[in-house]
Structure 1
């Protein structure tokens, strides 16, 4: 189905205009070259790993300050997607009054367009899209792509957008806890090793 065919399914009005904006953005993102190289090939546990993470986050922030699409940064783009979802939700009445078959088609197209746009956004820089640095709740960090899926699931319920799977979030909490445990163990080992090295150096030059 061509973009023209997709747009023809929507009645003239705000909803159709928003869908056109999303389709244009989606096509643009689909043609972008993916960006990689933020993560280290190997992370050393402990304080060295902490320094590595700081370097990675600094590089990601530097990338995010660059223009990604239409004057927006990489992360700001999904904020824009969230705003478009809010606007789409306000246009629900435009398809609510259609016959059931036509309304169903429009809802499926809306979900497909949002999902395709998010997928293409994530492919442009997967390391940032999947990096868990967004606050989900008091005890959980979530990735930007997880955050935007959660937001869309909340906003576009009437359009039958797939609901966010909270169980996957719980699984990520366990993973984070394990990672933190490994980090603490690695940190302790690094401190012990550093103390041993300093002790040996002190013994040599005593």
Structure 2
């Protein structure tokens, strides 16, 4: 109950449990900004419930589109139209192709993942369309993937280096926008 304001990004990309937390927090805050990524839909593999988020939070506040309708594409256009008409969107369900890799040793597992990425590249998949998501992106994982990708002539781009969330440029930008939009919060987030 110490928090007065809530900023929840990509609510549609959150699991039902995270949405429960957001709903509980909303009961105790003075103001909130909830963002929805209308052209997102990338977290379904992790249990995101986009439709449930819209049903739960879509009608409780003021909706401010960030982009014009002409800039929306695909599912984003459908969601934008649904927001304006007040209807809950029916989002398309695309199932990801899942391949399970099982190895007894972590070193073997990392090698198999690296080999699989190289095979995808050889099949013509663009490097920008491949993401390896791991619970811990440590130096062993980085080194192993970089080794395999070097053979394919592709460099490794690690998006997280175990740093604080506030050190991420996107998070800083969202915090700045939220503070500019709500000067009444009078917050000093204390990070240079």
After TM superposition, the score normalised by the length of structure 2 is 0.28
More helix by share: 1
- Point out which structure has higher relative CO (alpha carbons under 8 A, 6+ apart): 1
| TM-score (ref. length: structure 1) | 0.26
Larger Rg: 1
